């Protein structure tokens, strides 16, 4: 019950392939977020699960049943969308029970289901309210209650929190997790917000250009992204990327050297690779916080500082002539700047020369051309005589 499977599902519109041979297996009771940038095919994927859009190719299975050509009402799914379409002239009770009344459920059963749903989304005592007497968050809960009363095997939610203000959105994330625990049903949830996906999901399905890039638990996507797209999309601010080359001693570019045995990561001298490092894995050389396995020092000049309260983002220029780009997309492509996150009490100032090191165990390597991940974390000892690091310690 409650499994959702897509087998080689493709959706073509005239000149666009919105979804491209998608294979997805969502387990019973799982909370899976489909996440990716606008236009990547999330909603189209969801619509094909719901039965609102028919695939051009491939098959959709729900609870083990082939439903590819079935209408939405016969699929055992309930949907909650971004635009909460409540009937304005009906109170909460009538809005929530509308579908059941249409299907001629008996009154006792309707009352029982509405009561349970109102209890789950905490709308008890509000059943006679009209939609215009409620807040955005309350209206969204009515929409969810309306889905709950149908006892679906699968909930489909397409950006249901997008129209709520930031504070309410964070609150509703917690509510949805509670709802998931209580209902114990499968939830498939579409969002473009990677933070939302990270906090709520059992697994995240990262989609780009209609293609599934990775489906894994949030921390696996964060720590072991399968390619450059996932590495850059998951995490905010984004991972730093620097392009370079594999030499006998490891990774090299004009400004950064990280020593390791190329064979230990399956690389060959001359390979073009992109090194990825998250801002929290870059350290000032004199404040490595007990870091066991730092890389060689990297010379830098601080540019802009962004105090965030619980941390400070420090934009580092590796080349004094460069200008910093605060644009995340542009930053990813540049090799002469690094973003570092430091403790809020660090006394770093702008335009200061400093040396930084990277945590070797958090260095990612990607094939520059294909974008595929080669290695997450350098765990082998660097060749002898190389890469002594700030504290002269080497890897195990």
Closer to ligand ADP by Cβ: residue 221 or 317: 221
d(CA 387, CA 120): 57
Closer to ligand ADP by Cβ: residue 42 or 360: 42
Taking the complex as a whole, the smallest distance from the CB of residue 4 to ligand ADP amounts, in Å, to 17
| Unique residue bearing structure tokens 């990280």 | 258
Q: Is 83 in the site for ligand ADP (CB under 6 A)?
A: no
Q: Which of 39, 58, 72, 237 is close enough to bind ligand ADP by CB under 6 A?
A: 39
Strands 364-367 and 373-376: antiparallel
Structure tokens at 228: 């450059």
Q: Which stretch binds ligand ADP (CB under 6 A): 35-43, 92-100, 303-311, 362-370?
A: 35-43
Q: Which stretch binds ligand ADP (CB under 6 A): 31-39, 75-83, 310-318, 370-378?
A: 31-39
Q: Which of 42, 113, 331, 364 is close enough to bind ligand ADP by CB under 6 A?
A: 42
CA 349 to mean position of chain CA atoms: 33
CA atoms within 13 Å, Cβ hemisphere of 334: 20
Taking the complex as a whole, the smallest distance from the CB of residue 11 to ligand ADP amounts, in Å, to 8
Q: Which stretch binds ligand ADP (CB under 6 A): 42-50, 172-180, 300-308, 311-319?
A: 42-50
Q: Which of 1, 8, 13, 236 is close enough to bind ligand ADP by CB under 6 A?
A: 13
d(CA 44, CA 52): 9
Closer to ligand ADP by Cβ: residue 39 or 99: 39
CB 50 within 8 A of CB 79: yes
Taking the complex as a whole, the smallest distance from the CB of residue 77 to ligand ADP amounts, in Å, to 17
Q: Is 44 in the site for ligand ADP (CB under 6 A)?
A: yes
CB 120 within 8 A of CB 183: yes
Q: Which of 38, 268, 289, 384 is close enough to bind ligand ADP by CB under 6 A?
A: 38
Q: How many helices (H) and strands (E) does the chain have?
A: 9, 21
Cα–Cα distance list, 155 to 46, 73, 238, 255, 392 (Å): 11, 13, 31, 50, 54
Angle at 252 between CA 250 and CA 254, to 5 degrees: 165
Report the first-to-last Cα separation within the chain, whole angstroms. 47
Q: Which of 18, 26, 187, 206 is close enough to bind ligand ADP by CB under 6 A?
A: 18
Q: Which of 3, 22, 41, 387 is close enough to bind ligand ADP by CB under 6 A?
A: 41
Name the CA radius of gyration of the chain, rounded. Answer: 25
The count of residues interacting with ligand ADP (CB under 6 A) is 11
Taking the complex as a whole, the smallest distance from the CB of residue 338 to ligand ADP amounts, in Å, to 31
Angle at 258 between CA 256 and CA 262, to 5 degrees: 130
Q: Which of 16, 219, 326, 333 is close enough to bind ligand ADP by CB under 6 A?
A: 16
d(CA 166, CA 170): 6
Q: Is 384 in the site for ligand ADP (CB under 6 A)?
A: no
Cα–Cα distance list, 308 to 194, 242, 313 (Å): 19, 25, 7
Closer to ligand ADP by Cβ: residue 42 or 169: 42
Its sign, for the CA torsion 54, 103, 85, 207, is negative
d(CA 62, CA 4): 5
Q: Is 55 in the site for ligand ADP (CB under 6 A)?
A: no
CA 320 to mean position of chain CA atoms: 34
Taking the complex as a whole, the smallest distance from the CB of residue 370 to ligand ADP amounts, in Å, to 23
Q: Which of 24, 40, 60, 110 is close enough to bind ligand ADP by CB under 6 A?
A: 40
Q: Which stretch binds ligand ADP (CB under 6 A): 10-18, 58-66, 100-108, 281-289?
A: 10-18
Closer to ligand ADP by Cβ: residue 56 or 253: 56
Closer to ligand ADP by Cβ: residue 43 or 95: 43
Footprint of ligand ADP (CB under 6 A): 13, 16, 18, 36, 38-44
């Amino acid at each position: 019950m409650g499994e959702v499977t897509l087998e080689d599902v493709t959706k073509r519109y005239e000149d666009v392939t919105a979804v491209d041979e998608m294979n997805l297996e969502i387990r019973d009771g799982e909370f899976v977020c489909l996440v990716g940038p606008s236009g990547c095919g999330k909603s189209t994927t969801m619509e094909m699960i719901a039965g609102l859009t028919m695939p051009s190719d491939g098959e959709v299975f729900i609870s083990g049943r082939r439903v590819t050509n079935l209408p939405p009402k016969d699929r055992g799914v309930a949907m909650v969308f971004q635009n909460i379409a409540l009937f304005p002239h009906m109170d909460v009770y009538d809005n929530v029970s509308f579908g059941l009344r249409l299907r001629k459920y008996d009154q006792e059963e309707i009352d029982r289901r509405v009561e349970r749903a109102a209890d789950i989304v905490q709308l008890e005592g509000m059943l006679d309210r009209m939609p215009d007497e409620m807040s955005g968050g309350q209206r969204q809960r009515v929409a969810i209650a309306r889905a709950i009363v149908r006892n679906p095997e699968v909930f489909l939610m397409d950006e249901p929190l997008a129209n709520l203000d930031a504070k309410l959105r964070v609150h509703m994330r917690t509510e949805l997790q509670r709802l998931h625990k209580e209902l114990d049903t499968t939830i498939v949830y579409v969002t473009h917000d990677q933070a939302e996906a990270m906090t709520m999901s059992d697994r995240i399905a990262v989609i780009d250009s209609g293609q599934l890039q990775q489906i894994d638990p949030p921390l696996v996507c964060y720590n072991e992204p399968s390619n450059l797209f996932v590495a850059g999309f998951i995490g905010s601010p984004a991972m730093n990327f620097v392009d370079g080359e594999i030499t006998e001693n490891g990774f090299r570019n004009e400004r950064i050297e990280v020593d390791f045995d190329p064979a230990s990561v399956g690389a060959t001298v001359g390979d073009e690779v992109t090194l990825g490092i998250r801002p929290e894995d870059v350290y000032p050389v004199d404040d490595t916080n007990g870091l066991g396995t730092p890389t060689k020092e990297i010379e830098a000049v601080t540019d802009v500082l962004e105090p965030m309260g619980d941390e400070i983002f420090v934009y580092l220029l590796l080349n004094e002539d460069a200008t910093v780009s605060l644009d995340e997309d542009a930053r990813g492509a540049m090799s002469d700047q690094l973003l570092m996150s430091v403790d809020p009490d660090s006394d770093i100032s702008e335009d200061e020369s400093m040396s930084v090191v990277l945590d070797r165990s958090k260095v990612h390597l990607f094939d520059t051309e294909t974008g595929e991940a080669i290695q997450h974390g350098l765990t082998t000892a660097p060749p002898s005589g190389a890469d002594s690091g700030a504290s002269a310690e080497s890897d195990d």
